[in-house]
Structure 1
């Protein structure tokens, strides 16, 4: 009887140790653009320094990454409220930033996903112009842009394929503001080229995102979305419920990191990679060190 009991106790202990080890293993995901690569590296380094066994799987496409999290292959990544609201949950209602967050939090809970505290970084779509041209044409907002185009000025737009076709993109934006660039005046290209084309004078207006680090570096003017057309894209850590249950301290740790991020901070970090050519890992580590998280 005693050897059997010892055997059972040893097996039980081994199972407990294994479960604890699994509880401390976090797979961090990220999408395939600069901001997301920085956040994935930042999160990985931060959690590793906190004692977790962390694996990083960054550089993924949006849809693939979301499905990987739902399927349990990714435990944690940073998502945008507007992306979940529109692309994943097909919600077309016009919602305030607070209502959008609450809606995606509720809907994604059905998928076993938990939205933690949103950061103050809102990487929504935006249109930008060269500062001198915007000033000479008197354009500060999208309504101003509409007035100038409707008055007969032919301005060209650089757009990526996604913005050109999506439900919160070019066509509905033009309908909201009552103008049209005209098909021949829209040049489609990779998103990484839109601001380059603008800076080089190949186009007059470029689609971008609000935290793009090249905006301040190139002295560009972001046009005010005065009719609040673009949905809120609050950058937020999203974690699988099962992962949180296994790691009770994780929510507070990620909320601490989220509270440090806003538009200016993300633009600065993005610029260090895209403009200054620092590595993603070095930029992420420096930020964590500045904030005593590494």
Structure 2
């Protein structure tokens, strides 16, 4: 972090520290994949350092977590703008990143949920190939992939069940680019297995997300979404309005953390867990210590 930003961060923390009560209680949620587990642990440790009493409930399914927040069982968690836009609010309109954020902020406010400042991490969907195979076939983009498949190359895709069926997933992506893998050439599996299956040569293409730490570790090529099909999945803290009414200082505190996250940072943290086999708690703590937040 640049020295000037460090000074601003320190000043903000000093000011906010005066408003946090030691007996404040918060429930922090998280989904059931590496990035979300890291964020839940990071946020819990960070808020405990502010003096809150925190209960962490991570490892939850997406829809279960959202319902838990709407019902008041979860005070806050990190969500993706594209998930709220499409999965929770059913918006099919194509929007740019700022429009996406503004729309979900408005729609979720009607449900008592507040979107705080988005980070620069955009964990959108992506397709990846082994670098050597992509070079051999001349594939750098999804349009290239479509052309190769339409020319008769029977490439096999690894996809999780969610990407296979969702409205911003496989079927509409194929329609946008004018090709089809074919049912026989799509292998459905847990999301954590798609890139290992690609690396081991069991498939030719794998769905993934942009901040997956295994991408650089496995020398994979992410194909350019040259027709801009995938929506923006900016990562941001979402808090119940009732919670913010009780703890208004929480918004500024979480915005500090949000301002430190981007694609490269999240990919590095994810890799420390998924590739280097460090624990989620240790990775989260080390990041906070490096940023002088613990």
Question: Are 2:21 and 2:52, in contact at CA under 8 Å, matched by a contact in 1?
Answer: no
1:28-78 deviation line (CA, Å, top 9, x unaligned): 000011100000000000000011111111111111100110111100100
Aligned to 1:128: 128
1:237-281 deviation line (CA, Å, top 9, x unaligned): 000011111112110110110011111110100010011110000
Question: Are 2:27 and 2:76, in contact at CA under 8 Å, matched by a contact in 1?
Answer: yes
Question: What SS class does the counterpart of residue 29 from structure 2 fall into?
Answer: strand
Could you tell me how far apart the structure 1 residues matched to 2:81 and 2:23 are?
27
Question: What SS class does the counterpart of residue 135 from structure 1 fall into?
Answer: helix
Aligned to 2:82: 82
Could you tell me how far apart the structure 2 residues matched to 1:48 and 1:83 are?
28
Question: What SS class does the counterpart of residue 56 from structure 2 fall into?
Answer: strand
Could you tell me how far apart the structure 1 residues matched to 2:107 and 2:156 are?
39
Segments of 5+ residues of structure 2 without an aligned counterpart are: 1-19
Aligned to 2:227: 227
Tell me whether 1:281 sits opposite 2:270 in the alignment. Answer: no
Mapping of 1:247-266 within 5 angstroms? 247-266=247-266
Aligned to 2:197: 197
Shift of 1:205: 0.2
Aligned to 1:15: none
Aligned to 2:15: none
Aligned to 2:39: 39
Aligned to 1:50: 50
Tell me whether 1:64 sits opposite 2:64 in the alignment. Answer: yes
Mapping of 1:105-144 within 5 angstroms? 105-144=105-144
Alignment length (residue pairs): 275
1:72-105 deviation line (CA, Å, top 9, x unaligned): 1100100000110011000000000100000000
When the two structures are superposed, what TM-score results if normalisation uses the length of structure 1?
0.92
Shift of 1:23: 7.5
1:144-202 deviation line (CA, Å, top 9, x unaligned): 11111111111110111111111100000000001111111111111111111100001
Aligned to 1:7: none
When the two structures are superposed, what TM-score results if normalisation uses the length of structure 2?
0.92
Question: Are 1:23 and 1:246, in contact at CA under 8 Å, matched by a contact in 2?
Answer: no
Question: What SS class does the counterpart of residue 101 from structure 1 fall into?
Answer: helix
Aligned to 2:237: 237
- Would you identify which runs of 4 or more consecutive aligned residues in structure 1 move more than 2 Å? 20-23
Could you tell me how far apart the structure 2 residues matched to 1:115 and 1:237 are?
6
Check 1:228–1:186 CA distance in 2 against 1; reply closer, same or farther (3 A cut): same
Mapping of 1:198-217 within 5 angstroms? 198-217=198-217
